[in-house]
Amino acid sequence: MAAESPAMRRVQVAEHPRLLKLKEMFNSKFGSIPKFYVRAPGRVNVIGEHIDYCGYSVLPMAIEQDVLIAVEPVKTYTLQLANTNPLYPDFSTSANNIQIDKTKALWHNYFLCGLKGIQEHFGLSNLTGMNCLVDGNIPPSSGLSSSSALVCCAGLVTLTVLGRNLSKVELAEICAKSEPYIGTEGGGMDQSISFLAEEGTAKLIEFSPLRATDVKLPSGAVFVIANSCVEMNKAATSHFNIRMMECRLAAKLLAKYKNLQWDNVLRLEEVQAKLGISLEEMLLVTEDEICRCLGISLEELRTQILSPNTQGGTGGRRLWYFLEKPANKM
């Protein structure tokens, strides 16, 4: 499935209340009707928090909430964006002069990320214009990847308008590389599951190369997603990027400690791969370096520094601890 292009199918808009409402709003806004609709879902992550940008596998699944865009290609070179939510103002720009302001986490910049990623992938200088009306029901800044869903949706919109074809994996990789245009770094999990998700299954997402494996959920299993209503806008704060940079620094320090070409290393998984060691052995290497830097024994590290719930247990659990909080615990 991953090698295939995203699914396309004809629908009777009148049979889908949300599409019908979007069509009517589009007509009211632009004085015409959409030529097609594009959808990208949000996601939850079941296992593997904050380790995708370290190069390690994660287990997310898509959710019903999504971003839906109604689209009409136009003969001008103008991109017009509107949103069904009145909190998000209209935006218009030249399709051939995409400027993304990293200092402002404005909603339309996420669309521009996806558009720019596709434009640069094909090396295009002249893009056709389009009218787009965005409708999203993923709670914003809730940790359900509303921003990545919009980036992915925009990438797919642009690809469709251009009449080009890419596989789901290629699209996921392009959108993962283009979202940082708004200033937010990431590991690719959000974009990957948005394109590679399938109904009724979670996905084991692995990187380098990107691939997805079905993980069937137990019969009768139900996942309850509760919105705490506490917002965290990754692009508006530095918290997410700081954690990612801490992991990157940890990878470089470990690489240098093991006499590897550390200046080219970005992810902890790269260190493990270059050393040709297991996850358990990677844990020991990490602990050894911490002990060396602090001038303490392994026993002192485990009994005097680690908290009770991070002592002992499986090597995988302890390793995740260091992957999640490397620099400020070293």
Instruction: Point out the residues that are catalytic.
Output: 190
Residue among 215, 238, 83, 246 nearest 153 (CA):
83
Residues 6+ apart with CB under 8 A from 128: 73, 74, 75, 77, 95, 161, 162
Task: Give dist(CA 210, CA 200) in Å, integer.
Answer: 21
Residues in the chain: 330
Task: Give dist(CA 110, CA 232) in Å, integer.
Answer: 16
- Buried/exposed code over 191-228 (b: 16+ C-beta within 10 A; e: otherwise): bbbbbbbeeeebbbbbbeebbbeeeeeeeeeeeeeeee
3-state secondary structure (DSSP) of residue 278: coil
Q: Nearest 10 degrees: CA dihedral of 78, 84, 89, 95?
A: -20
Residue among 281, 282, 252 nearest 267 (CA):
252
Contact 283, 319 (CB under 8 A): yes
Q: Return the H-helix or E-strand segment holding 133.
A: strand 129-136
Contact 257, 289 (CB under 8 A): yes
Residue among 288, 118, 262 nearest 191 (CA):
118
Q: Residue ranges of the alpha helices (H) in the chain?
A: 17-30, 107-122, 146-162, 168-178, 189-196, 239-257, 268-275, 279-294, 298-300, 315-324
Q: Rounded to an integer, what is the distance from CA 1 to the centroid of its chain?
A: 19
